[in-house]
Structure 1
Amino acid sequence: MKTINLAIIGAGGYGDYCLGLLERFVDPESYRLVAAIDPFYEKIPRYTQLTAQGVPMYRTPEEFFAASSADLVLIASPIHLHKEQCLLALRHGAHVLCEKPLAPILQDALDIRAAVSASGRKLGVGFQMSFCDPIQNLKRDIQAGLLGAPKALRTYVSWQRYDSYYNSPWRGHIRDAQGHWVLDSILTNATAHYLHNTCFVLGDRFDTAAMPQTLAVELYNGKGIETFDTAFVSGKFASGCDFFLALTHSGDRNVDPILQYTFEHAVVTASGNDDSAEIIATFDDGSTKNYGAALGEYHVAQKLRTMIAVAADPSVDVPCTPDTVLPHLTMCNAIFDQADVYPLPADRMERVSTPEPGVFMRGLADDAWTCFQTGKLPSALGFDWAHRPTNIQLEGYHAFSGERFCKKEEIHT
């Protein structure tokens, strides 16, 4: 296979993680790292290593493209920078792998989609579950009718996030310091993969995702951030399939993702940590099919291997494109535009000091688990801390407004 030239924008943080994936899970003969682009490149974890390897460093993408070029650009920079960096890379003839979310708002994603079409290049969005073989094989079996009609897709995540997680200029923020939209939340960032995957597995083609017909949410804020750290999401697809997600960063214990996708003839489950969360279908007759551990790092790296292959041979298909992510982004934008956010009860919040400082709600992990098991929102189960859900209007929703965030009362108190 042709060796392609790869540049990375944002070489610290998640970009550093991607560099580690490249080192461990990607054929070193398939790519040549021609640039690490970061405004503070002296501070990136691999500065010494990359310098020793002779990798050129640049502070801005503009500086890089003025001096060089790349076949593929990996964008792992803060969310609000994605649009302009995608457009710049495409204008300079590069294929792009942009980490999720593609953009904070629908209008930006549509502009990127148009630029991709005009450029003749390809752009993949880094929802890694869409790229990996276990999910792709599951999706093929769903499309082939092997599992029967989809009935209910449910997800549970209680990832504890401590004070340090939100000590950031963008995490948990509506805008950054310069006023750019960020819209960071548990739905748009940490557990975005699971909301997106709910839509993706029901897509009618290799690279499509289904748009829900109905959507209701309950959103809660236990961290005192600008957005929300806990979300309960309920909806239905045109096929009649229900979906439900119980997601929190304020749970009183850490629980790795649990997926339960129920079909007419099988139940598909995944649970455990990233490397052991095997996706297993159990059929009515007791037989099983193991699709593999879709969340392990080898499978996370599939998005890198795929986009390197695309840069070497543009006829290679991309499973997650700007079109693919529109259902997820539409839901998230509509939720921000329309949904109320309520505080978790102060008298149940407990501050911990180990393993590091943080605040969590007593009993929330169990309550969220009950919601997951029943597929019901907290208010429907009568929890005394719950507030009424917001029914989200999706029909005709095509652009983020953000009008409510021009006012002080965007977060209920």
Structure 2
Amino acid sequence: MTTLVLNRFQLSRTDYRAWAGDEPLVLVTSAAGLAGSPTPEGYLHVEVVDDYEGPHVELVAHRLHGHHAFSRVLAMSEWDLVRAGRLRDAWGLPGPGEHDALLFRDKVAMKVALAGAGVPVARWRQVDDPTDLRRAADELGYPFVLKPRRGAASVGVDVVRGEADLLRCATGARLGVGDVPADLVAEEFVSNDLLHVDGIVHAGDVVLSWPTAQSASCLDITHGRAQVSVHLDDDDPALSGIQDLTARALHALGVPSSSLFHAEVFDVGGELVVNEVAARVGGAKIRDQMIRAFDVDPVEWHVRDVMGGPVPPLPEAPARRAGYALVPTRAGTITRLDDLDLPGSIVLADVPHAVGDVLAAPAATTSALASFVCVGTRRSRVADDLHRVVGDFEASIVVEPAEAVGA
């Protein structure tokens, strides 16, 4: 038995070889995945694909299958789930196929399945052409959110606030060319704080699930507002309802028997509604947040589970509250960056820039100028420490617009 591993992650933090036991592995990865890492050892074959986002990965996989006759495909990135499903379908392998994966990637298919199973979702409308866009405005009212059906990290997401925005979204290539559908979805705008729910599914059961409250929406960070996200306390009255709704949503979508998940839930007028559910680890600093809270790396746990190896026990609740903060990047050149005096509660600080670096405006929710992970005994304390550190960092840095630097 040989497993094909499709990898988009940093291999310095994703040691498939150590986690997979004795099973032979063939690795297909990107050049970015190897950044800062030595050439991985212990694999039957390693294939580095320069254009990992393009179609070459699947074609390489088919060629390698002819040599190795894979018995399993392991893929963990959101961008790999559907193509891994296509490969399983083509080769007759176990695991989620293309249709299964699409329920967690295609927002229209997802919302149809959730609503059909009685899981409450925010109001929405499929948008493939200008008439759909007009109807979305009439049905949802302003403002509403317009996003790609299979997007991620809030890339390409618009808030349509009035007729001028509607006209802007209807022009150009956003709504397709000719009869080509736009593949967009419109959703009602929810101003409430977003709740994330992250966890693990084992043998078809949700064995770990915990929500976090987020101080800024995913759209806010692309507009320059820092994002702070902290686990709920054990005694939060909303906890069990959020966990129950998430479990219902996962089962309505046919979650794989072994899976990580990342769900988004809103409180709309006192009613919990599902926004999206993904069958993968959450982005930003969610993996680090879970490691610090539960003393378990969800990525390692899942790989060991898929490969049939021993997995450590999972706690029912976090050992401690954990949270993270993302400070969005901004366009310009860094002209000052002072050292920070961090409190002991900050267990991870990632400031990957230096004076002289030229930055671009944030294009996605992961476009961070700095990020921090914090632990504590209560949600309020962790949130306070993170907000304080964000304020200190923003006071420590000066980013001059390009025209000011060149003046």
Q: Tell me the TM-score range normalised by the shorter chain.
A: 0.3 to 0.5
The structure, 1 or 2, with the larger RCO (C-alpha pairs under 8 Å, 6+ apart) is 1
Say which structure is richer in strand.
Answer: 2
What TM-score does the superposition give when structure 2 sets the normalisation length?
0.35
